[in-house]
Chains A and B, each alone.
Chain A
Amino acid sequence: MEQAVKIDMIDGSKSFGEKNVLKKINLTIEKGQFVAIIGKSGSGKSTLLRLVADLENLTSGELLFNNTPLKESKVNITMMYQDSRLLPWKKIIDNVGLGLDGQWKDKAAGVLDSVGLLGYKDEWPSTLSGGQKQRVALARALIHEPSLLMLDEPLSALDAFTRLEMQNLIEEIWQNNGFTALLVTHDVREAIRLADRIVLIEEGQIAMDIVIDAPRPRHFSENNLALLEEQVLERIMYGEVQERMKKIK
């Protein structure tokens, strides 16, 4: 496993034509940190993720991985999307091994086993449920032993039970592997359950940045997490940062 990566965005701006989607974002993410990015639709969350994933280029500003410019660093980044993006014409195991060379079959089988889907390795993706497809997508992301795992609303299309299951799985895998994780979600509860830190994006700027240091696994009946959820939701809906909300335990 490669070392986890530290990310620095310095005055990062992104515009599409006239539209300024991100405005001078300053954000440092420590090695191995699990950061959740929340915000209303269209606020620029996916754009932020795509910049860090090197799928888009900054209009201005800098992006550093372990203090080296993104383009020069050889950091292994993988991403999970809201849709699984499995190739329908490849069997499950071949989807997991996508982009690998040499003897990868055993490794792919191992990773599939770790997401509980080894029995499906020779099936077509079309025969799997939505949750199973996302597990395969997770396996495909993990086999590359990423230093940075990006998750763009990966669970938002799943039912509540499957979502809980997947949250546990993601948390467990993150704890075992220690990569840096960046999760975009609309689900504040999911953010609080999984993240070390929640960053709220509003109109292309960071409007709130709070640390959650409650012990894991987290339960909503403890550590005032339910209260925190309510306050974060209120902040998103009605604005106005209350200073005392910062660093809530």
Chain B
Amino acid sequence: MRKTWFNRFLPWIIPIIILVVWQVVAALEIVTPSLFPSPLSVLVSGWQLTVSGELFTHVGASLSRAVIGMLIGGLIGFALGIMNGLSDTSYRLSDTTIQMIRNIPHLALLPLVIVWLGIDESAKIFLVVLGVLFPIYVNTFHGIRNVDPGLVEMGRMYKLKGWKLFKAVLLPGALPSIFVGVRYALGVMWLTLIVAETIPTEQGIGYLATNAREFMQTDIIILSIIIYALLGKLADLIAQFGENRALKWNASYNKEL
């Protein structure tokens, strides 16, 4: 009993120490507070932004870009992965092209995207789409290809064909790998968004940080970074929750982490 309590507390020890040291060093004011704010002042400005409602506007804007981009890119990647996983013809036709595009660092396209799509929402969402598409494509494809052929043969023997075979054998077999892709894509999604939100804009966490930089509000810059981190963690937790639900048959997923 005590052991589990201790184990739960263990991961928090280092972050707490960091916070305390940070607070103490900031309170000593070795560096001016405007360059090195204390955690408390970050908290205070966070609270002020929450009360004024600004925080929600910005977080909401970033979240909607993330979700829309993730949905579009995820669906395209998933569809391509399924198609190429199931059909050799489709694979031969498109995989080389997809791999070529995948090898371009999508963030390097930023200037081109701005020229082509302007600086509005579509440019940012496009970058997110491009970023999340490939991890999901690759993992869906490999998931489908690596389904145990013995199970597929068994399914055929029991008269499963087409959609039924896909639903009963191929998709569930590929699901663990697809979830790996989703979780990886979530990381790419936030990273892309951070960069994409440096494109001039009027809303979003990126705007919050860029704007704060102009006024030397270091506390708000730090707050933005922390919000990105929290959202990233939250997204991962949601994905993990979905994964645990969908893969509860898999003994290795039943273990509490």
Question: Which residues of A does B touch, CB under 8 Å?
Answer: 53, 55, 77-79, 81, 83, 85, 87-90, 98-99, 124-127, 140, 144
Contact B158 A98 (CB under 8 A): yes
The verdict on B172 contacting chain A, using a C-beta distance below 8 Å, is yes
Q: Which one of B24-32, B40-48, B149-157, B203-211 is at the interface?
A: B149-157
Give a binary string over B156-185; 1 marks a CB under 8 Å from any A CB, 0 the rest: 111110001000110011010000000000
Question: Residue among A79, A81, A99, A144 with the most chain B CB within 10 A?
Answer: A99
17 further A-B contacts with Cβ under 8 Å, apart from A90-B168, A90-B249, are: A53-B157, A55-B156, A79-B157, A81-B150, A85-B150, A85-B151, A89-B172, A89-B175, A89-B249, A98-B155, A98-B158, A98-B168, A99-B159, A99-B160, A124-B251, A126-B249, A126-B251
Q: Which residues of B contact A124 (CB under 8 A)?
A: 249, 251
Contact A78/B249 with A87-B151, A87-B172, A98-B168 known, Cβ cut-off 8 Å:
no
User: How long is the Cα–Cα vector from A87 to B150 in the complex, in angstroms?
Assistant: 10
* Closest Cβ–Cβ distance, residue B246 to chain A (whole Å): 9
Q: Which residues of B contact A88 (CB under 8 A)?
A: 249-250
Contact A78 B157 (CB under 8 A): yes
User: Top 10 nearest A-B pairs by Cβ distance?
Assistant: A99-B158, A89-B172, A85-B154, A89-B249, A126-B251, A99-B159, A124-B249, A98-B158, A85-B150, A99-B160
Residue of chain B at shortest CB distance from A144: B158
User: How long is the Cα–Cα vector from A16 to B157 in the complex, in angstroms?
Assistant: 22
User: How long is the Cα–Cα vector from A53 to B158 in the complex, in angstroms?
Assistant: 11
Q: Which residues of A contact B151 (CB under 8 A)?
A: 85, 87
Question: Residue among A78, A79, A85, A124 with the most chain B CB within 10 A?
Answer: A85
* Closest Cβ–Cβ distance, residue A238 to chain B (whole Å): 35
Contact B169 A87 (CB under 8 A): yes
> Can you name 28 A-B residue pairings with CB atoms under 8 Å?
A55-B153, A55-B156, A55-B157, A79-B154, A81-B150, A81-B154, A83-B150, A85-B151, A87-B151, A87-B168, A88-B249, A89-B172, A89-B175, A89-B247, A89-B249, A90-B168, A90-B249, A98-B160, A98-B168, A99-B155, A99-B158, A99-B160, A99-B164, A124-B249, A124-B251, A125-B249, A140-B158, A144-B158
Residue of chain A at shortest CB distance from B159: A99
Q: Which residues of B contact A90 (CB under 8 A)?
A: 168, 249
What's the interface size class on B, roughly? 20 to 34
B contact face: mostly helix, strand, loop, or mixed? helix
Q: Which residues of B contact A78 (CB under 8 A)?
A: 157-158
Q: Which residues of A contact B169 (CB under 8 A)?
A: 87
User: How long is the Cα–Cα vector from A55 to B158 in the complex, in angstroms?
Assistant: 12
User: How long is the Cα–Cα vector from A166 to B249 in the complex, in angstroms?
Assistant: 26
* Closest Cβ–Cβ distance, residue B74 to chain A (whole Å): 21
* Closest Cβ–Cβ distance, residue B185 to chain A (whole Å): 23
Residue of chain B at shortest CB distance from A88: B249
Give a binary string over B135-161; 1 marks a CB under 8 Å from any A CB, 0 the rest: 000000000000000110111111110
* Closest Cβ–Cβ distance, residue A219 to chain B (whole Å): 35
User: How long is the Cα–Cα vector from A81 to B153 in the complex, in angstroms?
Assistant: 11
Q: Which residues of B contact A99 (CB under 8 A)?
A: 155, 158-160, 164
User: How long is the Cα–Cα vector from A140 to B169 in the complex, in angstroms?
Assistant: 16
User: How long is the Cα–Cα vector from A79 to B169 in the complex, in angstroms?
Assistant: 17
User: How long is the Cα–Cα vector from A95 to B173 in the complex, in angstroms?
Assistant: 14
* Closest Cβ–Cβ distance, residue A224 to chain B (whole Å): 38
Q: Which residues of A contact B168 (CB under 8 A)?
A: 87, 90, 98
Q: Which residues of A contact B158 (CB under 8 A)?
A: 78, 98-99, 140, 144
Q: Which residues of A contact B155 (CB under 8 A)?
A: 98-99
* Closest Cβ–Cβ distance, residue B256 to chain A (whole Å): 17
Q: Which residues of B contact A85 (CB under 8 A)?
A: 150-151, 154
* CB-contacts of B193-239 with A (<8 A): none
Residue of chain A at shortest CB distance from B151: A85
User: How long is the Cα–Cα vector from A244 to B173 in the complex, in angstroms?
Assistant: 53
Residue of chain A at shortest CB distance from B158: A99
User: How long is the Cα–Cα vector from A244 to B250 in the complex, in angstroms?
Assistant: 55
Q: Which residues of A contact B247 (CB under 8 A)?
A: 89
User: How long is the Cα–Cα vector from A161 to B193 in the complex, in angstroms?
Assistant: 61
* Closest Cβ–Cβ distance, residue B131 to chain A (whole Å): 30
Q: Which residues of B contact A79 (CB under 8 A)?
A: 154, 157
User: How long is the Cα–Cα vector from A197 to B104 in the complex, in angstroms?
Assistant: 65
User: How long is the Cα–Cα vector from A140 to B151 in the complex, in angstroms?
Assistant: 14
* Closest Cβ–Cβ distance, residue A193 to chain B (whole Å): 26
User: How long is the Cα–Cα vector from A89 to B150 in the complex, in angstroms?
Assistant: 15
* Closest Cβ–Cβ distance, residue B248 to chain A (whole Å): 8
Question: Residue among A81, A98, A126, A144 with the most chain B CB within 10 A?
Answer: A98
User: How long is the Cα–Cα vector from A182 to B155 in the complex, in angstroms?
Assistant: 20
